[in-house]
Amino acid sequence: PVATREASRAVKLFHALSDETRLEIMSHLQKGEQCVCDLMDTLKSAQSRLSFHLKVLKEAGLIEDRREGRWIYYSINLDALKELEELVRALKQSAKSAASAGRCC
Amino acid sequence: PVATREASRAVKLFHALSDETRLEIMSHLQKGEQCVCDLMDTLKSAQSRLSFHLKVLKEAGLIEDRREGRWIYYSINLDALKELEELVRALKQSAKSAASAGRCC
DNA sequence: TTCAAGCATCAACATTTATTGATTGGAGGC
DNA sequence: GCCTCCAATCAATAAATGTTGATGCTTGAA
């Protein structure tokens, strides 16, 4: 069903962001696109480890990659963040109306 | 450091929401507070399983509980959702400015 | 004070996720 | 062609997370 699809999409987005290393990656990509070697430098982390986390973020649609010569540049996908924002907003809105409904009775 | 604290707080929030059962719980609590037996009924799930997931959500601050007689009622904590909304918004905003900066050069 | 209802907690197990080091693959430079 | 660089992938292991059934705690009713 559709609801299930949406739920598992939400799970994927939240899970991708539920890790400190991946949040650090997102944080560094906020400054603009970077290659893996940049991130290795900044995060002082092994290449295969970063590759693993980049894959998780990419499969959730949160980042994109672009090849340029030997390097692969990663960048944030704004659409996914908008999607996430909308998810959280929807969750908050319904809860808000439920709370005020509870208050008045 | 402060940045680390904020990051682990974000990790905790995202992790709490990165599970289908927990999202279902949140979804059902949107309608208002419910006791565990309500959720057992709705989600057709074992009591200890729900207790586990409710604990995760509670420790992340996403829900609160209130005892009334034999029952314990759970409800959504709006403040946590606001916090989450702010986290996502911040992530999006920085990325947005980075994207437009990249475009112009 | 004894009993049952409603939940939390625990222990054991299964499953998933993350880390590490080694290997593989593609893109240049020589 | 051969070698090097950058990065993905794999295999093995370690660690975290989720599930299940049993047990214990608290509350209210009899």
Tell me the pLDDT tens digit for each residue of B14-61.
999 999 999 999 999 999 999 999 999 999 999 999 999 999 999 999
The whole-number Å distance from A49's CA to C18's C1' is: 8
- The rounded distance, in Å, linking the Cα atoms of B48 and B73 is 16
Which one of A17, A75, A81 has the shortest CB-CB distance to B92? A81
DSSP string, A12-74: HHHHHTSSHHHHHHHHHHTTS-EEHHHHHHHHT--HHHHHHHHHHHHHTTSEEEEEETTEEEE
Mean residue pLDDT across chain A: 91
Closest of B13, B4, B24, B6 to residue B81, by C-alpha: B13
Is the pTM value of this prediction over 0.85? yes
Residues of A in contact with B102 (CB under 8 A): 32-33, 75
Chain B residues with CB within 8 Å of chain A CB: 7-8, 10-11, 14-15, 17-20, 23-24, 26, 29-33, 75-76, 78, 81-82, 84-85, 88-89, 91-92, 94-96, 98-99, 101-102
Which one of A19, A81, A88 has the shortest CB-CB distance to B11? A19
Higher per-residue confidence, A104 vs B9: B9
- Is 70 exceeded by the pLDDT of residue A90? yes
% pLDDT > 90, chain A: 80
Nearest CA in chain A to B13: A18
Higher per-residue confidence, B100 vs A59: A59
pLDDT score of A102 = 58
A11 to B32: CB separation less than 8 angstroms, yes or no: no
pLDDT score of B1 = 63
Element (H, E) at A75: strand A71-76
Query: Which residue pairs from B1-10 have beta carbons closer than 8 angstroms and sit at least 24 positions apart in sequence?
Result: B7/A20, B7/A23, B7/A24, B8/A20, B9/B83, B10/A17, B10/A23, B10/B87
- Is 70 exceeded by the pLDDT of residue A52? yes
- Is 50 exceeded by the pLDDT of residue A27? yes
Higher per-residue confidence, B1 vs A43: A43
- The rounded distance, in Å, linking the Cα atoms of B19 and A41 is 32
pLDDT score of A1 = 63
* Digit-coded pLDDT (tens) for B58-89: 999 999 999 999 999 999 999 999 999 999 99
B54 touches strand C (CB under 7 A): yes
